[in-house]
């Protein structure tokens, strides 16, 4: 028969073993159920294999394909055109460095120009894709085709500072159109590089003028004035100006 002191020691040992077993079991369950996002198996809070939940990669089954609203080739000077596509992404997810293709056809459906490039697809917004200074000899463009040429890899949305466009002034439409816009950085972040796209739309929402500018070093709290010019009047009167500002790099 065990003494009272011995029985108490046995109870303490048993209690310790129970607590230790619960701790080990919980730790094993935690690591077995967490998302690794790289082991080729759906686990943790993943919605698919290595995607969704806490993973950076977004599952393709949850993605709606970007919608190309329109694409145009607009004359800039004799034989020189800017190509632009207007795209809507309804996903709260992004694609970095997505490949795309512009193809321009004449009225007989003959391919007269082709241009490839890459662009970042922003989350939950409409945005433009621009290719400038495309030489197209006669006959003139009749139809412009645009598509994303890669299998798009979607990832979770990431923070980028929001810049503002103000003081938009469009003048000299009858000769050499000129647009001035003030770009403001109201954030606490220094922007190392940004891209500004300008779309000039007619009454029906068709693009009559486009332009693009890359700007470096816009520090926190600062602003600058950027001027966009065109060498000749537009084919239609623009009634709406859209200025898109995309932050490429910041700190």
Phi, psi of 250 (to 5 degrees): -155, 165
The answer, yes or no, to whether residue 224 has pLDDT greater than 60, is yes
Q: Identify which of 244, 233, 121, 137 has the alpha carbon closest to the alpha carbon of residue 183.
A: 244
What is the pLDDT, as a whole number, of residue 22? 65
The answer, yes or no, to whether residue 192 has pLDDT greater than 50, is yes
In this prediction, residues 70-88 reach a mean pLDDT of: 96
3-state helix vs strand vs coil in the chain, percent to 5: 15, 50, 40
Query: How much of the chain exceeds pLDDT 70, in percent?
Result: 88
The answer, yes or no, to whether residue 29 has pLDDT greater than 50, is no
Domains of the chain by range and CATH?
64-156 (2.60.40.10), 164-250 (2.60.40.10)
In this prediction, residues 147-173 reach a mean pLDDT of: 96
Model confidence at 28, in pLDDT bands (50, 70, 90)? very low
Task: Please give the residue that has the higher pLDDT: either 195 or 23.
Answer: 195
- Alpha carbons 129 and 119: distance in angstroms, whole number: 7
Lowest mean pLDDT among 103-107, 137-141, 185-189: 137-141
Query: How much of the chain exceeds pLDDT 90, in percent?
Result: 82
Q: Identify which of 244, 194, 248, 227 has the alpha carbon closest to the alpha carbon of residue 84.
A: 244
The answer, yes or no, to whether residue 30 has pLDDT greater than 90, is no
- Alpha carbons 4 and 133: distance in angstroms, whole number: 95
Contact 21, 32 (CB under 8 A): no
The answer, yes or no, to whether residue 131 has pLDDT greater than 80, is yes
SS (H, E, C) 54-74: CCCECCHHHCCCCEEEEEEEE
What is the pLDDT, as a whole number, of residue 24? 64
Model confidence at 151, in pLDDT bands (50, 70, 90)? very high
Burial 120-155 (b: 16+ CB within 10 A, else e): ebbbeeebbbbbeebebeeeebeebebebeeebebe
SS3 10: helix
What is the pLDDT, as a whole number, of residue 72? 96
Cα distances (Å, whole numbers) of residue 177 to 146, 217, 246:
27, 27, 24
Lowest mean pLDDT among 20-24, 124-128, 145-149, 162-166: 20-24
What is the pLDDT, as a whole number, of residue 25? 57
């Amino acid at each position: 028969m065990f003494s009272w002191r011995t029985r108490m020691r046995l109870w303490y040992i048993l209690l310790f073993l129970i607590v230790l077993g619960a701790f080990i079991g919980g730790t094993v369950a935690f690591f077995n159920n967490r998302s690794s996002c790289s082991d080729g198996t759906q686990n943790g809070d993943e919605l698919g294999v290595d995607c969704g939940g806490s993973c950076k990669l977004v599952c393709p089954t949850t993605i709606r394909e970007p919608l190309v609203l329109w694409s145009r080739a607009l004359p800039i000077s004799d034989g020189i055109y800017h190509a632009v596509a207007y795209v809507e992404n309804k996903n709260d997810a992004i694609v970095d460095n997505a490949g795309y293709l512009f193809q321009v056809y004449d009225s007989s459906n003959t391919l007269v120009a082709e241009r490839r490039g890459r662009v970042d697809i922003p989350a939950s917004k409409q945005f433009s894709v621009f290719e400038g200074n495309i030489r197209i000899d006669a006959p003139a463009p009749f139809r412009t085709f645009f598509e994303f040429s890669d299998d798009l890899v979607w990832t979770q949305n990431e923070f980028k500072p929001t810049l503002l466009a103000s003081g938009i002034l469009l003048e000299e439409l009858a000769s050499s159109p000129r647009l001035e816009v003030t770009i403001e950085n109201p954030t606490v972040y220094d922007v190392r590089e940004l891209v500004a796209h300008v779309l000039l739309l007619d009454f029906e929402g068709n693009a009559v003028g486009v332009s693009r500018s890359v700007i470096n070093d816009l520090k926190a709290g600062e602003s600058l004035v950027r001027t966009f010019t065109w060498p000749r009047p537009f084919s239609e009167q623009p009634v709406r100006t859209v200025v898109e500002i995309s932050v490429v790099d910041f700190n």
